[in-house]
Homo-oligomer: A and B are copies of this chain.
Amino acid sequence: VSANVTASEAALWLAARDNFLIISHRRPDGDTLGSAAALAQGLREAGKTAFVLCNPEATPRYAPYVEDYWAPDDYEPASIIAVDTASVDLFTDNAGAYTGAVSLCIDHHASNSFYGGVNCIDAARATCGEIVFDILTALSGSVSSVTAERLYIALSTDTGCFSFGNTTAETLFAAARLIEYGAPNRVLNKKLFRTKTRGRIKIEGMLASGMEFHFDGIVAIAAITREMMETAGACEDDMDDIAVIAATVEGVGIGITIREMSSANDCKVSVRTMLPYDAHAICLRFDGGGHKMAAGCTLDKPIDEVKTELLEVVADYLKSNF
């Protein structure tokens, strides 16, 4: 395991090198894509050559901010950087050649496996974007409005526009400075947090209408079938963070969302909890896992069976622990 470096040390490391390729994680969110695009942009502004490895799973929500940095097929990088990616298992398939070759790993996940030659990990930060911001200001003294926009996307999306429990004073200080650097927070907030697609509003409506409450309202459970998505006209991009809804209901401590994925026997379960309930402990029973307040698992069974099994496991979990 390689030692950790500070943002300033990471900046010195970057200053001494060139020809970077930046890798983002599978099922990419705003933090990994915003961090990757901002780092590429900031490195270019520092006179470097930098590209982001095309993430084939980038959705229309974030692609416009990062696709201009996709590396050409014949690009020959000298240094590989991974952002917001806790482990090489989270690399996209086209990043397979780089799993043993990461020169610098920048991340905020406590579970990071320190797989880089150099690692700049700070698990106290709410977002990876904050660490990239620190590195770029250490490198160049400031960031451009283009970089600030991408960093604002990273910070705001990973904190639910600063409303999630991970948001710290540091996050808000950084966001304030990004606005001063020209991040268009009004436009971005309207687009990212105050606009829903027609598919999203319909699928949210169906999810909420069908939500069931169990165990004196401590458990909310919602199912989303492929048929519901078709009726709603919802696509994968519309499903971002849909699992949080069940856990936002007053009194609910365990919010469970089951999604039918590629087939009727392929269900993805997302569990969101409020303390003292432990999402990870529940998902472990199905060989899944995650964090205490957000975890997941997959079951190769029809959605109705998944629901029944989950409620049985939750009943047992509640009985054993409370």
Contact = CB atoms under 8 A, between A and B. Distances in A.
A226 interface: no
A164 interface: yes
Q: How many copies of this chain?
A: 2
Given A205-B209, A207-B205, A209-B206, A179 B190 contact: no
Nearest to A188: B163
A157 to B, nearest CB: 12
A176 interface: yes
A179 B163 CA distance: 13
Contacts of A167: 185-186, 189
Interface string A246-285: 0011110000000000000000000000100000000000
B172 A190 contact: no
Interface in A167-184: 167-173, 175-177, 179-180
B165 A197 contact: no
A240 to B, nearest CB: 14
Given A162-B162, A167-B185, A180-B169, A249 B196 contact: yes
Q: Provide the main secondary structure of the chain A interface.
A: helix
Contacts of A171: 176
B186 A165 contact: yes
Q: How large is the interface on A (under 10, 10 to 19, 20 to 34, 35 or more residues)?
A: 35 or more
Contacts of A209: 202, 205-206, 209
A315 interface: no
Interface in A145-177: 160-165, 167-173, 175-177
Given A176-B172, A176-B173, A163 B202 contact: no
Contacts of A204: 204-205, 208
A96 interface: no
A177 B170 CA distance: 9
A214 interface: no
A213 interface: yes
B176 A169 contact: yes
A173 B174 CA distance: 9
Contacts of A319: none
A245 interface: yes
Contacts of A193: 163
B168 A201 contact: no
A56 interface: no
Nearest to A207: B205
11 contacts: A161-B161, A167-B189, A169-B177, A171-B176, A172-B173, A172-B176, A172-B179, A195-B249, A204-B205, A205-B205, A205-B209
Question: 4 shortest A-B CB distances, which residue pairs?
Answer: A205-B208, A172-B176, A205-B209, A169-B179
Given A205-B206, A205-B207, 11 more contacts: A162-B162, A163-B189, A167-B185, A167-B189, A172-B175, A176-B176, A194-B248, A196-B248, A202-B208, A204-B205, A206-B208
